[in-house]
Structure 1
Amino acid sequence: MDLGDLQIFQAVVEAGSVTRAAEHLHRVQSNVTTRIRQLEQKLGVALFIREGKRLHLSPAGWQLLPYAQQLLALAAQAREAVCDDRPRGPLVLGAMESTAAVRLPGPLSEFVKRYPEVKLTLKTGNPQQLAAAVLAGRMDTAFVTGPIAEGPLERVPVFSEELVIVAQAGHAPIGKAHQPLPPVIVAFEPGCPHRARLEAWYARRDGMPLQTIEITSYHAMLGCVVVGMGISLLPRGVLATFPDRDRLSLHPLPRGENRASTDLIWRSGALSPKITALLQLLKPARALRAETLAG
């Protein structure tokens, strides 16, 4: 059954005759008659009892009618949802852990208040994982930092992060000339842009860490740094969420190496009202980022 057949069937039921249904549908009478007969042939039952020019529903027709009404109503709702420019329905959002912990609580809280018809899901991962999920359709949009896998993606800068090296409190200055580089770093798994940035920092100074301790959360990472297990590189904003901040020492990176842009990405051609609404809400953060870069 197609929706056109059901629409004609419902029109005939409501009009009580093929003639009036054809007028309502702006079709010729023979076309309506043919479509009804074709529908009856497909179902293998008579849907109407014919008495001259009048039609009455048969028992099978009465059984079909509520299903036809439900299907046509669902189709109308689907058309409305697709054409509606209101943010509504599921939104699967991806982010790096630092972005989710520091940057998103405020904006997402406001987003949920403004758009209660959106069912928001937040998932974390590294930029490569997030980009792959967006390309595969498992996520609608994601916040990423640094280069990502090539693909049909669009991206808009939304945050600018200051990156700092953190070490145990009282640690000697890091990166100064003629000083040995710390042998151990604490970082996320390969694919993390901050880990890649720290490894590149070592490489520019003709060194590489002798050991990398892989951790799955920032607070666990900072806990390792506090007890002197190694150094790490992360956005300065993450430190605001760490209760033992005074047990760390901060070591700034040189200008030009100390900032990272976080972008919102989505698949090309898939900019939905939900993503547009999120971008609109992030405008103040984008304006702040522009001021920071200009300053």
Structure 2
Amino acid sequence: MDLKQLQTFLTAAETLSFTKTAQLLDYAQSSITAQVKTLEQELGVNLFERLGKRIILTEEGKRLQQYAKKMLELDREMKKAISNEQEQVLLKVGAQESQCVYRLPSILQQFQQVHPHVKIIFKPVHTTDIAKKLLQVGDLDVAFITDTYQETSMLQRQRLIEEQLIFVSAPIERMEPLSAQQLALETMLLTETGCSYRNHLEALLQLEGVRPLQMIEFASIEAIKQCVIAGLGMTFLPKMVVEKELTMGLVTEIPSTLKLAPIYTDIAWHKDKDLPPCLLDFIAIAKQKYQTLGD
């Protein structure tokens, strides 16, 4: 068994076609067939099931596919380490706007001091389901998830902090806590459909059998805050995104009788993902920074 055979096998496992594999690798099709046959003889199993002109992976083939990926990745890492190449590493991070704007800058600042050659790309992640899908297909390496905790078998999650969700309006005189029925009469300025804290609010109001009579939807938290300050309505956001405005007296926290479930920010990654050193450092720095916020 050699790495060339494993690469041929992996390509065939992805294309499920010896013809396409030969075209991609620039081999004769007979060479592809021979390499796969040699692997099967060496391992003593059938890696593909031949169904006429079609091929599908056997269970043994699926298992080899996972190990072959790891072996080829290890080979690439070894060659890179030996040659000491300074290739730019890409780190794909998912997070909600609230985390990107108010929490991640200090994490990035410290991370880039340690890993200046790592390029970071941020992608929006509003729910656990979105994070799960993006992590599963490899579009994200790690994600910050803010929601009520949901057990997700394929994700490794570590708790960072418990968030406080509050109702906020333009400054008004102190008032008694609002009931769900009273809240439903307010104009609610909310984040986009699917955002975790909007989902949380709608679920709470639904339990009370009510829904806001008027909702205005925004793609930007900053836009929501400016409209609240202007007196256009009330919003429901993590307290950390309006701390500055509360301190300056630009907005007021509105108490309510709703029983809010705990909502958390976790950092998550695919449980089967091999974590490179730069990603381990990113996770460690994030945990340390959030720990400081929670103290």
Q: TM-score band, normalised by the shorter chain?
A: 0.5 to 0.7
Alignment of 1:38-77 (within 5 A): none
- Report the equivalent of 1:215: 218
* Cα offset, 1:82, TM superposition: 8.2
Deviations 1:261-295 (A, max 9, x none): 1011111111412331112112334544665xxxx
- Report the equivalent of 1:137: 138
Question: Given that residues 131 and 143 in structure 2 are in contact (C-alpha distance below 8 angstroms), is that contact kept between their aligned partners in structure 1?
Answer: yes
Are 2:269 and 1:266 equivalent residues in the alignment?
yes
- Report the equivalent of 1:112: 112
* Cα offset, 1:100, TM superposition: 0.8
1:198 maps to which of 201, 207, 211? 201
Query: What amino acid is the match of 2:106?
Result: G
CA distance in 2, matches of 1:124, 1:81: 31
Structure 1 residues 232, 178: closer, same or farther in 2, change over 3 A? closer
Question: Given that residues 165 and 231 in structure 1 are in contact (C-alpha distance below 8 angstroms), is that contact kept between their aligned partners in structure 2?
Answer: yes
Structure 1 residues 253, 107: closer, same or farther in 2, change over 3 A? farther
- Report the equivalent of 1:229: 232
* Cα offset, 1:240, TM superposition: 4.0
* Cα offset, 1:239, TM superposition: 1.5
Deviations 1:163-189 (A, max 9, x none): 211112116636435972233211122
Structure 1 residues 254, 279: closer, same or farther in 2, change over 3 A? farther
- Secondary structure at 1:173 match in 2: coil
- Report the equivalent of 2:55: none
Identity in percent: 25
CA distance in 2, matches of 1:191, 1:174: 30
More moved, 270-279 vs 133-142? 270-279
Are 2:278 and 1:279 equivalent residues in the alignment?
no
Unaligned residue ranges in structure 2 (runs of 5+): 5-30, 32-73
CA distance in 1, matches of 2:3, 2:204: 62
- Report the equivalent of 1:65: none
* Cα offset, 1:221, TM superposition: 0.7
- Report the equivalent of 2:182: 180
Deviations 1:146-166 (A, max 9, x none): 256956111111122222111
CA distance in 1, matches of 2:88, 2:256: 43
- Secondary structure at 1:282 match in 2: helix
* Cα offset, 1:101, TM superposition: 0.8
CA distance in 1, matches of 2:103, 2:180: 37
Deviations 1:64-83 (A, max 9, x none): xxxxxxxxxxx976434489
Query: What amino acid is the match of 2:142?
Result: T
- Report the equivalent of 2:123: 123
Structure 1 residues 243, 160: closer, same or farther in 2, change over 3 A? closer
Query: Please, what is the CA RMSD of the aligned residues?
Result: 3.6
Question: Given that residues 142 and 266 in structure 1 are in contact (C-alpha distance below 8 angstroms), is that contact kept between their aligned partners in structure 2?
Answer: yes
- Secondary structure at 1:247 match in 2: coil
Q: How many residues get paired? A: 220
Structure 1 residues 158, 136: closer, same or farther in 2, change over 3 A? same
TM-score by length of 1: 0.63
More moved, 150-159 vs 235-244? 235-244
- Secondary structure at 1:180 match in 2: helix
Question: Given that residues 161 and 294 in structure 2 are in contact (C-alpha distance below 8 angstroms), is that contact kept between their aligned partners in structure 1?
Answer: no
Query: What amino acid is the match of 1:100?
Result: C
Structure 1 residues 107, 172: closer, same or farther in 2, change over 3 A? same
Query: What amino acid is the match of 1:167?
Result: S
CA distance in 1, matches of 2:244, 2:187: 24
TM-score by length of 2: 0.63
Question: Given that residues 179 and 256 in structure 2 are in contact (C-alpha distance below 8 angstroms), is that contact kept between their aligned partners in structure 1?
Answer: no
Structure 1 residues 140, 103: closer, same or farther in 2, change over 3 A? same
Deviations 1:107-129 (A, max 9, x none): 11111111113211122231233
- Secondary structure at 1:160 match in 2: strand
Structure 1 residues 123, 264: closer, same or farther in 2, change over 3 A? same
